[in-house]
Amino acid sequence: MKFLVHTYGCQMNVRDSEAVEALMIAAGHERVSREEDAELVIVNSCTVRQKAEEKAVGKAGNLIAAGKLTGLMGCAVKRLGADVFSRLPKLDFAVGPRAAGLIPKIVADGRFPRLELGEEGMSEALSSHVAGGAKAFVTILVGCDNRCSYCIVPDVRGHEYSRPAREVVAEVRALAARGVKEVCLLGQSVLRYGVANAAWGASDAPSPGGYSEAFPRLLEAIAGIGGIRRIRFTSAHPRGCTEELARAFREFPQVCRHIHLPVQSGSDRILADMGRRYTRAEYLAAVARMRALDPALSVTTDVIVGYPGETEEDFEATRSLMDEAGFDNSFIFKYSPRPGTRSAAKPDDVPPEEKERRNQVLLADQERRGLERNRRLVGTVAEVMVEGPSKRNASRLSGRDGGNRIVVWEAPEGEPAPREGAFVNVRIADAHPQTLIGEVQ
Ligand code: 5AD
Ligand code: SF4
């Protein structure tokens, strides 16, 4: 059957969609890229904010109206449960975030409608990859036990579970043998690897509440795999920015000079209410500790504006923290109450126009700050992994430096263009807030 997967949401969803594609291809189905060619369309949904959920559910509704065989997977399915069929009465099947591995069986059975919310098929899905490409996502930890006040993720993705290290290492070895050069290790909170359950076996006793050395050990093991030139990971938490993590950055050049460290707010009052388990000062100390390794380390973040009770003063504290941390990039989100979370019990009292204003202020700050940070790189030479022709201008090539910054440069004339996954040295000649302009040496 010809099928297509549409993905909404974070990298975890991108990875889950890829696993479904791999399993469907292995079951004899054909992946197509145009919706009109597909007989079956699967929508992978997000529910972190209400708008995100509405987009995915709306998309599934449109497909059903167009007469496609339609499946919905991912976080919104888990949140809605059986109600998903009142929202989408003609939906063919719906599977939660830990049941995506069942999709080929559900399609083969052909008994619709069908709802799966359990964990059956999870481990099969976790290790399946589509062949090709120089980059791969590898899920090392599923679920989350942090329970931040605003976040629905623990409700929909379940308890935290770290995959055994030997399984992860074997998976990366297999990817390297297929030509993968960059892996991005994924989890809601990857530095908690090996905390909720032992990842390295009996020697690695679980350390509830703390941060074990299991993650730095994993970085070391993966750095030892031939062919893997870059190791990225996301997301991190300041409490996990330990001396052992810093040592892994220092010792293994494969570990990319980038850390995504969601801060959410710069106000201690709001951070405490969110249950983030760090103060503004502790967060800034973690950034300083990591940047001490390399001042060019790229630090990126997530911020929520308009959290219940966020005053102008709290907001200004977020603004000033963002300047002090000198974020290379940031993702700003307007607070959206999610049913069943702690903060949903509080009045959503920052008006939508004010959320929008705060959002715009932080975006403008980030433009200026991103440009300042990027300008410091002008004149340096970046090692860039080629992605392909630039989307805006096909005569240019585009790739990413170790800090995950986008670098664009003129392809030299008369020479064959470097292939995807090739490494090229590019001199940075100019800077934009989100892009570096280079010239080949
Ligand atoms: N409202 C707005 N943003 C949210 N995020 C998580 N939950 C919410 C919510 N209820 C943001 C956080 C997180 C990112 C993935 O989404 O900033 O880091
Ligand atoms: Fe987990 Fe907190 Fe991240 Fe939500 S914001 S996914 S609860 S660590």
Q: How far apart are CA 117 and CA 344, in angstroms?
A: 24
H helical segments located in 209-327: 214-223, 243-251, 268-274, 280-291, 312-325
Residue linked to tokens 């049941």 = 99
- Which atom of ligand 2 lies closest to the CA of 157? 6
The CATH architecture of the domain made up of 128-374 is Alpha-Beta Horseshoe (3.80)
Shortest-distance Cα residue to atom 18 of ligand 1: 302
What confidence tens digit (pLDDT) does each residue in 147-203 have? Answer: 999 999 999 999 999 999 999 999 999 999 999 999 999 999 999 999 888 898 866
Q: Could you tell me the two tokens for 61? A: 């509704």
| Model pLDDT, residue 417 | 84
| Model pLDDT, residue 414 | 82
Residue 184 bridge partners (DSSP)? 137, 232
Asked if 223 and 198 count as a contact pair (C-beta separation under 8 A), the reply is no
Asked if 304 and 264 count as a contact pair (C-beta separation under 8 A), the reply is yes
| Model pLDDT, residue 93 | 98
| Model pLDDT, residue 85 | 98
Least confident of 276-285, 409-418, 424-433: 409-418
Q: Could you tell me the two tokens for 125? A: 């899905």
Q: Could you tell me the two tokens for 144? A: 């989350």
Instruction: For residue 236, give every residue at least 6 positions away whose Cβ sits within 8 Å of its Cβ, in sequence order, or none.
Output: 189, 190, 191, 259, 260, 261
pTM score of the predicted model? 0.96
Q: How far apart are CA 53 and CA 59, in angstroms?
A: 10
From the CA of 141, which ligand is nearest? 2
- Which atom of ligand 1 lies closest to the CA of 262? 18
Q: How confident is the model at residue 441 (pLDDT cuts 50, 70, 90)?
A: confident
What confidence tens digit (pLDDT) does each residue in 63-72 have? Answer: 999 999 999 9
For the structural domain made of 2-122, what CATH number should be given?
A: 3.40.50.12160
- Ligand 2 within 6 A of 179 CB? no
Averaged pLDDT, 414-426: 90
**How would you classify residue 84: left for phi > 0, otherwise alpha for psi between -120 and 50, otherwise beta?**
alpha
- Ligand 2 within 6 A of 188 CB? yes
| Model pLDDT, residue 207 | 60
Checking if the pLDDT of 208 tops 70, the result is: no
Shortest-distance Cα residue to atom 2 of ligand 2: 148
Q: How confident is the model at residue 391 (pLDDT cuts 50, 70, 90)?
A: confident
Q: How confident is the model at residue 411 (pLDDT cuts 50, 70, 90)?
A: confident
Checking if the pLDDT of 210 tops 70, the result is: no
Q: How far apart are CA 26 and CA 407, in angstroms?
A: 35
Question: What torsion, rounded to 10 degrees, do the Cα atoms 117, 121, 123, 124 define?
Answer: -140
Averaged pLDDT, 279-301: 96
| Model pLDDT, residue 238 | 96
Least confident of 263-277, 304-318, 411-425: 411-425
Q: How far is the CA of 337 from the centre of ligand 1 (A)?
A: 10
- Which atom of ligand 1 lies closest to the CA of 235? 18
More confident position, 311 or 204: 311
Checking if the pLDDT of 434 tops 90, the result is: yes
Query: Which of 188, 273, 301 to probe ligand 2 with, by most ligand atoms within 8 A of CB?
Result: 188
Q: How far apart are CA 403 and CA 293, in angstroms?
A: 13
Q: What separation in angstroms does the CA of 205 have from each of 160, 196, 200?
A: 16, 10, 9
Q: How confident is the model at residue 204 (pLDDT cuts 50, 70, 90)?
A: low
Averaged pLDDT, 121-143: 94
What confidence tens digit (pLDDT) does each residue in 332-387 have? Answer: 999 999 999 999 999 999 999 999 999 999 999 999 999 999 999 999 999 999 99
Terminal C-alpha separation, the chain: 48
| Model pLDDT, residue 12 | 96
Per-residue burial over 283-319, b if 16 or more Cβ lie within 10 Å, else e, is bbebbeebbeeeebbbbbbebbbbbbebeeebbebbb
Q: How far apart are CA 102 and CA 113, in angstroms?
A: 14
| Model pLDDT, residue 384 | 97
Q: Where in the chain is the domain with CATH 2.40.50.140?
A: 381-440
What confidence tens digit (pLDDT) does each residue in 234-271 have? Answer: 999 999 999 889 999 999 999 999 999 999 999 999 99
**% of the chain with per-residue pLDDT over 90:** 90
Mean per-residue pLDDT of the chain: 95
Q: Where in the chain is the domain with CATH 3.40.50.12160?
A: 2-122
Q: How far apart are CA 316 and CA 296, in angstroms?
A: 26
- Ligand 1 within 6 A of 329 CB? no
Nearest to 13 by CA among 56, 74, 96, 86: 74
- Ligand 1 within 6 A of 215 CB? no
Asked if 68 and 41 count as a contact pair (C-beta separation under 8 A), the reply is yes
Amino acid at 389: P
Return the CATH class of domain 381-440: mainly beta
Q: How confident is the model at residue 206 (pLDDT cuts 50, 70, 90)?
A: low
* Length reported for the chain: 441
Amino acid at 3: F
**How would you classify residue 158: left for phi > 0, otherwise alpha for psi between -120 and 50, otherwise beta?**
left
Checking if the pLDDT of 436 tops 90, the result is: yes
